[in-house]
Amino acid sequence: MHYDTRRGIEAPLGPTPQGAPLKTPAVKTVALLGDDYPNVVFDLRVKEGDAVRAGQTLCVDRRRPEICFAAAASGHVSQIKLGPRRRLEMLEITGAGDDAVNFAKGDLRKLLLKAGAWPSFRTRPFGLIPDPTATPAAIFVTTTKSTPQALDPHVVLTTETVDFERGVAALLQLTTCPVFVCQRKGAPLSPPRDRLKIATFSGPYPSGNAGPQIHRLMPVSRQRMVWDIGYQDVVAIGHLLATAQIKTTRSVSVSGAKMAEVAIVPLGAKLSEVVGGMDHFDPDNLLSGSRLTGQKCDYLARRDLQISALETDSAGGSFWHRILDALPAAPTGATLPTEAFERAFPFAILPVPLMRALAVGDVETAERLGCLELIEEDMAPLTRLCPSGCDYGQLLRHTLNLILSEGVA
């Protein structure tokens, strides 16, 4: 089945990275970021200064201790930073070496939980790590390019076909539910069979994200929960099953207005070390994610496969664009409800009423309008376009937490 949408933000950001040449920058510092896992309370299993091996458990979820978070590199724990309410903000590992934990094969679920692969799954509604014993209504593998300068998953997967196939087979084995591989038009990335279904998508950002795809194929609700997982995480599961060691690296695009490179970096890599050997990139002005919606951060976030150079946005080059850019910035205030929001939002959900409900904290209306189908990343286009300066991702997380705290039927 093919789904095409014209809704989204189509912005000429710069060159698209080609598959080659691959760069492998020497990254010595990686970090586990607490913000990548909303609502998780971490129980630390290591102290500052401890030596760790790749794959070793760094911390577990306090409420569900079966869920482990694994070290993405071997070395020693150089820094542990606690944030508000002593929640883990950042755990930094420095060092090198390829000392890795070998996991015993056995029950698939237990292996994924122990090896730190479980947090690659994300539930929808709520966007959290699924319960270790839960069964979803479907699993979605996102194999589409989300932003203009992201890597083309089809190119990345050409060298990883075997591991991807093994990973998909593991997903089928994990549950009895259908598994959807969402990809662009072309040859199926995995041969469709009984419970494995292929759906193709095309359109501008953010139609390559999991949100719009799940919204099209299987809208979620209080009664129906699905999981989604990124394509490189599926490859990592395949690699884990083949070698009994975790795959610590990901292919990411490193891009700016004039340059685009492909690099293989460890999970949670320190961004300034990634661009250390590359010209044209200022190590102090980097985003984890795309230039449209990325976060200013020192480390690569768990689900981001893109590093962008933060530059003054000269993308809109027309005369009127420049005149308007020269105006002083208006004070932040209320939403001006133009059609731009609908044009950038590829959901059958009404953006302006939802934005208003979230901004005033009206949980019931937000749920009626469909906020359960969304997570933070889906709100990024609206946050970018809205003149009010509200972060709708944060507002949505707050609303989702209120719904969770009232108990889900």
Distance CA 183, CA 375 (A): 21
* Cβ-based neighbours of 226, under 8 Å, separated by 6 or more: 123, 124, 136, 137, 138, 139, 140, 214, 218, 220
* Cβ-based neighbours of 108, under 8 Å, separated by 6 or more: 170, 173, 174
Three-state SS for 116?
coil
Binder of other proteins out of 133, 176, 318, 405 (CB under 8 A): 318
Instruction: Write down the least CB distance from residue 200 to other proteins, Å.
Output: 13
Distance CA 300, CA 293 (A): 14
Residue 322 found at the interface with other proteins (CB under 8 A): no
Distance CA 177, CA 249 (A): 29
Distance CA 310, CA 256 (A): 7
* N- to C-terminal Cα separation, the chain: 32
Residue 328 found at the interface with other proteins (CB under 8 A): yes
Residue 64 found at the interface with other proteins (CB under 8 A): no
Single out the segment in contact with other proteins by CB under 8 A; choices: 39-47, 125-133, 275-283, 316-324.
316-324
Instruction: Write down the least CB distance from residue 353 to other proteins, Å.
Output: 6
**Residue 185 per-residue DSSP state:** S
Instruction: Write down the least CB distance from residue 9 to other proteins, Å.
Output: 6
Single out the segment in contact with other proteins by CB under 8 A; choices: 3-11, 34-42, 108-116, 125-133.
3-11
Binder of other proteins out of 242, 334, 404, 408 (CB under 8 A): 334
Instruction: Write down the least CB distance from residue 217 to other proteins, Å.
Output: 5
Could you tell me if 351 and 342 are in contact, meaning their C-beta atoms sit under 8 angstroms apart? yes
Could you tell me if 304 and 294 are in contact, meaning their C-beta atoms sit under 8 angstroms apart? yes
Bridge-based pairing state of the strands 122-124 and 226-230: antiparallel
Residue 20 found at the interface with other proteins (CB under 8 A): no
Residue 330 found at the interface with other proteins (CB under 8 A): yes
Nearest residue to 358 via CA among 390, 326, 329: 390
Residue 343 found at the interface with other proteins (CB under 8 A): yes
Q: How far is the CA of 150 from the CAs of 109, 204, 206, 307, in angstroms?
A: 31, 12, 12, 9
Binder of other proteins out of 47, 331, 406, 409 (CB under 8 A): 331
Tokens representing 33 are: 């970021």
Single out the segment in contact with other proteins by CB under 8 A; choices: 81-89, 99-107, 226-234, 315-323.
315-323
Sketch the per residue contact string, 168 through 197, with other proteins: x for CB under 8 A, - otherwise.
-----------------------------x
Residue 202 found at the interface with other proteins (CB under 8 A): no
Residue 360 found at the interface with other proteins (CB under 8 A): no
Q: Alpha carbon 359 to chain centroid distance?
A: 24
Residue 329 found at the interface with other proteins (CB under 8 A): yes
Residue 385 found at the interface with other proteins (CB under 8 A): yes
Single out the segment in contact with other proteins by CB under 8 A; choices: 7-15, 53-61, 79-87, 108-116.
7-15
For other proteins, give the closer residue by CB, 133 or 318. 318
Residue 15 found at the interface with other proteins (CB under 8 A): no
Residue ranges that bind other proteins, judged by CB under 8 A = 1, 6, 9-12, 197, 204, 217-219, 221, 224, 313, 315-318, 321, 323-324, 327-331, 333-340, 342-344, 348-350, 352-353, 368-370, 384-385, 387-388
